[in-house]
């Protein structure tokens, strides 16, 4: 039985005041839920990572990174970047890689995403590999091939043994921040294809790996998504900025 995982991606939002308030509300809200089979994670902007780790210390909520430096694992002359080692030293347990916004606005290729995965793994941080098709790709009937290709590209570089420690997040690009969620059936179809792709390398890894759904997840649609066989949780953007909404999503996963 796979555990459920709910990850809040705060993206580039928040002020010192609002981030503190959100972390405090989450800390009491999630604690009150007394989650048994669900793990909760939040990924703040890196400038707030240390503060959020401190604010959530002693709670069951873990903290993750939204992005990580590809060029070096520890330190070096890479202005503006934050390394996997730095996140690990702060206590981060998860790191997003390959989010469609990174692929689109920063030109991240599968090769860069694979390097970032490897850096996180080297620091015992679980990479959350984001994959997903564009609307044009879906309309052309290519969704399953595109997504399987994105997963396979990473396995080919880091190896299937390492992939056992990776979480996959399926996020159809057309559903991110648009209010348009994939139907539970549409999401399930892609999740099953991802598991089948991984099973082509190793069936045990395929069975154990967590595959999250992301794209306009909110309290109102979470339960029907989590009812699907291959959906093991959610990567939540907009709704993760509201503590109450995030708690409803976590509760729906129990």
Q: Which is nearer to ligand PGA, 29 or 237 (CB)?
A: 237
Residue 73 Cβ, how far from ligand PGA at the closest point, in Å?
25
Q: Which of 157, 167, 78, 64 is nearest to 118 (CA)?
A: 157
Is 61 strand, coil or helix? coil
- When asked if residue 114 is in the footprint of ligand PGA (CB under 6 A), the reply is no
The residue from 238, 247, 249, 253 that contacts ligand PGA (CB under 6 A) is 238
Per annotation, catalytic residue among 99, 101, 119, 191: 99
Pseudo-torsion of CA 199, 203, 205, 208, nearest 10°?
Answer: 110
Q: CB 176 → ligand PGA: shortest distance, Å? A: 4
Exposure string of 60-82, with b = 16+ CB inside 10 Å and e = fewer, is ebbbbbbbbbbeebeeeeeeebb
Q: Which is nearer to ligand PGA, 16 or 177 (CB)?
A: 177
Number of residues in contact with ligand PGA under rule CB under 6 A: 13
For the question of residue 99 being annotated catalytic, the response is yes
**For ligand PGA, which residue of 214, 219, 232, 250 counts as binding (CB under 6 A)?**
214
For residues 185 and 142, the answer to whether their CB atoms sit within 8 Å is no
Stretch that binds ligand PGA, among 60-68, 146-154, 204-212, 237-245 (CB under 6 A): 237-245
Q: Within 13 A of 188's CA, how many CA atoms are on the CB side?
A: 9
Name residues whose C-beta falls within 8 Å of residue 75's C-beta, 6 or more positions apart in sequence: 83, 85, 86
Which residue from 216, 219, 226, 249 is in contact with ligand PGA, where contact means CB under 6 A?
A: 216
Distance CA 158, CA 122 (A): 11
Which residues from 4-43 bind ligand PGA, rule CB under 6 A? 9
Q: Which residues bind ligand PGA (CB under 6 A)?
A: 9, 171, 176-177, 214-217, 235-239
* Catalytically annotated residues: 99, 171
């Amino acid at each position: 039985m796979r555990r459920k995982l709910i990850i809040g991606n705060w993206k580039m939002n928040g002020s010192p005041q609002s981030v503190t308030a959100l972390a405090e509300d989450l800390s009491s809200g999630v604690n009150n839920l007394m989650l048994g089979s669900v793990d909760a994670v939040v990924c703040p902007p890196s400038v707030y990572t240390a503060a959020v780790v401190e604010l959530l210390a002693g709670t069951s909520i873990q903290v993750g990174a939204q992005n990580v430096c590809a060029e070096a694992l520890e330190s070096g002359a890479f202005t503006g970047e934050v390394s996997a080692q730095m996140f690990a030293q702060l206590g981060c347990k998860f790191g997003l890689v390959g989010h469609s916004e990174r692929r689109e606005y920063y030109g991240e290729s599968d090769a860069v995403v694979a390097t970032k995965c490897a850096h996180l793994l080297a620091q015992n941080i679980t990479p959350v590999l984001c994959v997903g098709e564009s609307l044009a790709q879906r309309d052309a009937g290519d969704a399953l091939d595109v997504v399987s290709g994105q997963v396979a590209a990473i396995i080919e570089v880091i190896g299937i043994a390492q992939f056992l420690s990776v979480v996959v997040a399926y996020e159809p690009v057309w559903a991110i921040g648009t209010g348009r969620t994939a139907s539970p059936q549409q999401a399930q179809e892609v999740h099953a294809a991802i598991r089948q792709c991984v099973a082509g390398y190793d069936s045990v890894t395929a069975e154990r790996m967590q595959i999250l759904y992301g794209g306009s997840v909110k309290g109102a649609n979470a339960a029907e998504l989590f009812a699907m066989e291959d959906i093991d949780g959610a990567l939540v953007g907009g709704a993760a900025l509201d503590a109450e909404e995030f708690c409803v999503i976590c509760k729906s996963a129990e």
